[in-house]
């Protein structure tokens, strides 16, 4: 394996293995800061988003390159008399996927592992209503509230899935949190590789995207960009039972260029220009009109009177679960397209994209 590719895989492993649910992104921010501080000016906003600026040959336009640091997780909501833990979801989960899975509760004495309680089929009665996360319990081997306290756990502790990094069939990477640590990895790699560019690029690693794109709301006020590129780990739709038509987020088929989701109609001239740039540079890509979901593009494109914004994504199989899969080729395609945009987008091109 080439050194550069090994470095990228190590970056992907480090970021995806790191715990960082909404409100607890600091370990992720520390990794990104370590990588970008040597070449960028670093600042933080009041909610905790990390902002890294790199000026090129010109100060304008200011381009916001953004990915969110948080992953879906939980907060310790309550403790039963018998020592079980109740969960408050942070982000979107399917409750029926959780029983039997392991989690880390990040307490004052370090991470404590637990199992989401699963009723064995021997005792299972017919389920009359849909299972909710609020109905679930976590077992950490404690028998009382006192034992829970002795483990260093208390209300408000943040909880993340237990998973491990693995490589399948040479190019598929497995781990938790690809939404959006794969976007964070593209952001870090692009900023480290970026040299000659006719603009100022402001890499922005946001917080709390999974609970309502909150970090982007404050970060865009600090960055004040003229255009934005949002990097995501988008749910793949290429496995059985997901779509009856051709997939728009197939793993191994390239960077996904989003045209629409319920929160954002992507700037038409911008995505058309990006698509032509991908074709010109022979970068594998796929177009997506999403019928659900939202990204940090929602608050960004509505800020400051309107900011042209495009969303690029690496497809993720089994997103918002304990383990997902991404393809190295998609990661590289997204990185190449990101760099092509940053190296090309100047004042003249940006002006041509805006309404006359």
Report the largest interatomic distance among the alpha carbons of the chain, rounded to a whole angstrom: 69
Cα 58 to Cα 55: distance, rounded to the nearest angstrom: 7
Q: How big is the chain, counted in residues?
A: 356
Q: Is 209 noted as a catalytic residue in this protein?
A: yes
Q: Give the DSSP H/E element, type plus range, for residue 203.
A: strand 200-206
Distance (Å, rounded) from C-alpha 223 to C-alpha 206?
12
Query: How many CA atoms does the CB half-sphere of 200 hold within 13 Å?
Result: 16
Please say if the pLDDT value at position 124 is more than 70.
no
Q: What is the mean pLDDT of residues 333-345?
A: 98
Per-chain mean pLDDT for the chain: 95
Say whether pLDDT at 122 is over 60: no
Question: Lowest-pLDDT range, 116-120, 132-136, 159-163, 340-344?
Answer: 116-120
pLDDT at 126 over 70: no
**Which of 25, 71, 209, 232 is labelled catalytic?**
209
What pLDDT digit, counting tens, does each position of 216-228 carry? 999 999 999 999 9
The fold adopted by the segment(s) 73-124+131-161 is Elongation Factor Tu (Ef-tu); domain 3 (2.40.30)
Task: Specify the DSSP class assigned to residue 207.
Answer: S
Strand (E) or helix (H) holding 190: helix 178-193
pLDDT bracket for residue 104 (50, 70, 90): very high
Task: Show the CA angle centred on residue 134, arms to residues 139 and 320, nearest 5°.
Answer: 85
Domain regions of the chain by residue span: 3-71+176-353, 73-124+131-161
| Fold of the CATH domain 3-71+176-353 | Aminopeptidase (3.40.630)
pLDDT tens digits for 292-324?
999 999 999 999 999 999 999 999 999 999 999
């Amino acid at each position: 394996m080439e050194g550069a590719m090994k470095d990228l895989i190590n970056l992907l492993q480090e970021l995806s293995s790191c715990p960082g649910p909404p409100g607890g992104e600091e370990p992720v921010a520390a990794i990104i800061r370590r990588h970008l501080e040597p070449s960028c000016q670093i600042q933080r906003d009041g909610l905790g988003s990390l902002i890294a600026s790199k000026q090129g040959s010109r100060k304008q336009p200011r381009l916001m390159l953004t990915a969110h640091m948080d992953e879906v997780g939980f907060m310790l909501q309550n403790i039963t008399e018998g020592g079980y833990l109740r969960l408050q979801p942070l982000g979107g989960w399917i409750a029926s996927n959780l029983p039997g899975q392991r989690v880390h509760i990040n307490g004052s004495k370090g991470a404590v592992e637990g199992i989401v309680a699963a009723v064995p089929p021997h005792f299972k009665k017919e389920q009359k209503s849909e299972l909710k996360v609020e109905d679930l319990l976590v077992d950490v081997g404690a028998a009382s509230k006192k034992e829970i306290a002795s483990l260093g756990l208390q209300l408000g502790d943040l909880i993340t899935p237990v998973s491990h990094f693995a490589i399948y069939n040479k190019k598929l990477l497995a781990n938790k949190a690809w939404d959006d640590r794969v976007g964070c990895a593209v952001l870090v790699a692009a900023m480290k590789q970026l040299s000659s560019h006719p603009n100022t690029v402001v890499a922005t690693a946001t917080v709390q995207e999974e609970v309502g794109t909150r970090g982007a709301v404050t970060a865009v006020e600090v960055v004040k960009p003229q255009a934005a590129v949002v990097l995501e780990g988008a749910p793949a739709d290429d496995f059985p039972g997901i779509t009856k038509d051709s997939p728009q987020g197939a793993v191994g088929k390239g960077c996904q260029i989003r045209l629409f989701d319920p929160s954002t109609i992507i700037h038409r001239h911008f995505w058309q220009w990006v698509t032509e740039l991908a074709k010109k540079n022979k970068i594998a890509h796929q177009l997506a009109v999403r019928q659900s979901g939202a990204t940090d593009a929602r608050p960004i494109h509505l800020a400051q009177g309107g900011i042209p914004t495009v969303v690029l994504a690496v497809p993720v199989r089994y997103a918002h679960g304990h383990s997902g899969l991404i393809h190295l080729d998609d990661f590289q395609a997204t990185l190449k397209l990101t760099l092509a945009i940053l190296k090309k987008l100047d004042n003249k091109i940006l002006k041509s994209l805006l309404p006359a």
